[in-house]
Amino acid sequence: MTLHPVPRPGEAETPPAPAADPAPRRGDGPARRPRLTRRHLLFAGVLATLVAAAAGTWTWWRGAPVERYVTATVERGTIEDNTTALGTLQPFEFVDVGTQVSGQLRKIHVEIGAAVKEGDLLAEIDPTVYQAKVDAGRAQLLNLKAQLADKQAQLVNARQTFERERNLMKARATSEDAYQKAEAALASAAAQVDALKAQIQNIESVLRGDETNLGFTKIYAPMTGTVVAQIAKQGQTLNANQQAPIVLRIADLSTMTVWTQVSEADIGRLRIDMDVYFTTLGQSDRRWRGKLRKILPTPEIVNNVVLYNALFDVPNPTGELLPQMSAQVFFVSARARDALMVPMSALRPVGGKGEKKKRKSAGEQAKSGETMPAPAAADGAPAPARYAVHVLTPAGGIEEREVAVGITNRVSAQVLSGLAEGERVVVGAPRSAKTGGDQPRTRPPRLS
């Protein structure tokens, strides 16, 4: 209840002051807010767009480098500079076993793959004709020896007659005619003996040839090894009048020789006793190693391509390597173990503009398959070459460094100085540029 003052007599009545508006209550309706104009809305949209663009640009520049560039880690390993070629395996020592006489190949005593020793019987040729010649020669020899015995007896008689006539002649007891006849008979008997001896020597010589040919009907192994080929078949008639027919091939498979054909463009990089290894089609993960033994001076021309044969030997104690196997051969010009390596595409030439125009970049050489030979020092040893690389810093930036490069090949390069193991180098354009994304930068920035 509100108390109002009572007016005194003679005073005018004053109306009460109006009461203040009570505070708005919940449920009495929303309070009035300021109206947003179109200008305010447009300004807010532009501001949001600018903020989003700035945030995206900041994220791109300050984000993880691996998302912006194709990188590679500097690692340690073995690097080689080599020359590749194709080769064929052949036995280091082999012999083609043929026959020196003609005839039917009656029997072959061995098979392909059989191990033989020197002197083992390999095959036989029908000996009928040669045995008949030997028998005829022996019979003729016996006949001549019998005739010789008869002539020698006549010679003894003629000598005795001559001695008697000579004694009588001294005593004047015989005629001159009888003496001369006895002397002539002695000379004739001696000549007949000499003639028969010569015939016997001739028959003995022919007989030795026939016996030798008879021996040739049996073919023996001239060396210890393995039968790797059989050219003639059992029952085949062989003609040795023009050339010696080959029956078998025996090879010593304990040592193999790789005949490698090297193009004339690469033959200058080879040197005797250089390291070389090869792989086969069946065992591409295994390497057989050797030393270059010989380079044949006479080339072979195949489809107008000049190829030289380079030979090297490799032990084969287990017999895994077989004749005519194909080999992928690698002639090692230089090798470094536990070396720092980077991809060739990470290297870029250093120097002025004139030098850059004369030299291709390392990445272009790697794509074209070329190698980068190091300049030779005064003593003939390879000297390091200088190149530039872009290295990712821990803060996410890019730093250009100059490095010394040693051995190079089509894929990697040996780093002698300028980089540490574990660092990452830029090897290509941004990933998004290669995959078709919207990326304004296609190569790392060049630092001055």
pLDDT top residue among 60 and 229: 229
Provide the pLDDT for residue 174: 82
Question: DSSP character for 242?
Answer: T
Angle at 120 between CA 116 and CA 126, to 5 degrees: 125
pLDDT top residue among 240 and 43: 240
Query: Does 110 have pLDDT greater than 80?
Result: yes
Confidence of residue 76 (pLDDT cuts 50, 70, 90): very high
Kind plus residue range of the DSSP H or E element containing 309: strand 305-315
Contacts 24+ apart (CB under 8 A), 140-146: 140/203, 141/200, 141/203, 141/204, 141/207, 144/196, 144/199, 144/200, 144/203, 145/200
Query: Does 68 have pLDDT greater than 90?
Result: no
Question: DSSP character for 422?
Answer: T
Query: Does 394 have pLDDT greater than 80?
Result: yes
Q: Tell me the CA end-to-end span of the chain in Å, nearest whole number.
A: 91
For residues 47, 49, 52 and 57, what is the CA-based torsion angle, rounded to 10 degrees? -110
Q: Sign of the C-alpha dihedral, residues 98, 99, 105, 109? A: negative
Question: DSSP character for 66?
Answer: G
Pull the structure tokens for residue 214.
């008879």
Q: Which of 421, 277, 411 is nearest to 339 (CA)?
A: 421
pLDDT digits (tens, 9 = 90+) for 220-240: 999 999 999 999 999 999 988
Mean pLDDT value across residues 355-378: 43
Provide the pLDDT for residue 243: 79
Half-sphere exposure of 301 (CA within 13 A, CB side): 1
Give the Cα separation of 84 and 401 in Å (integer): 33
Mean pLDDT value across residues 66-76: 80
Question: pTM for this one?
Answer: 0.62
Give the Cα separation of 195 and 399 in Å (integer): 109
Query: Which of 22-26, 91-95, 370-374 is the least confident region?
Result: 370-374
Give the Cα separation of 443 and 220 in Å (integer): 75
Give the Cα separation of 437 and 433 in Å (integer): 6
Mean pLDDT value across residues 87-98: 94
Percent of the chain's residues with pLDDT above 90: 56
Confidence of residue 286 (pLDDT cuts 50, 70, 90): very high
Q: Are 135 and 244 in contact, with CB atoms under 8 Å apart?
A: no
Question: DSSP character for 432?
Answer: H
Q: What are the residue ranges spanned by the domains of the chain?
A: 65-79+337-435, 127-216
CATH number of the domain located at residue range(s) 65-79+337-435 in this protein? 2.40.420.20
Confidence of residue 185 (pLDDT cuts 50, 70, 90): very high
* Phi, psi dihedrals of residue 24, rounded to the nearest 5°: -65, 140
Confidence of residue 36 (pLDDT cuts 50, 70, 90): low
Pull the structure tokens for residue 194.
């000499």
pLDDT top residue among 426 and 443: 426
- Helix/strand/coil for 316: coil
Query: Which of 21-30, 52-61, 418-427 is the least confident region?
Result: 21-30
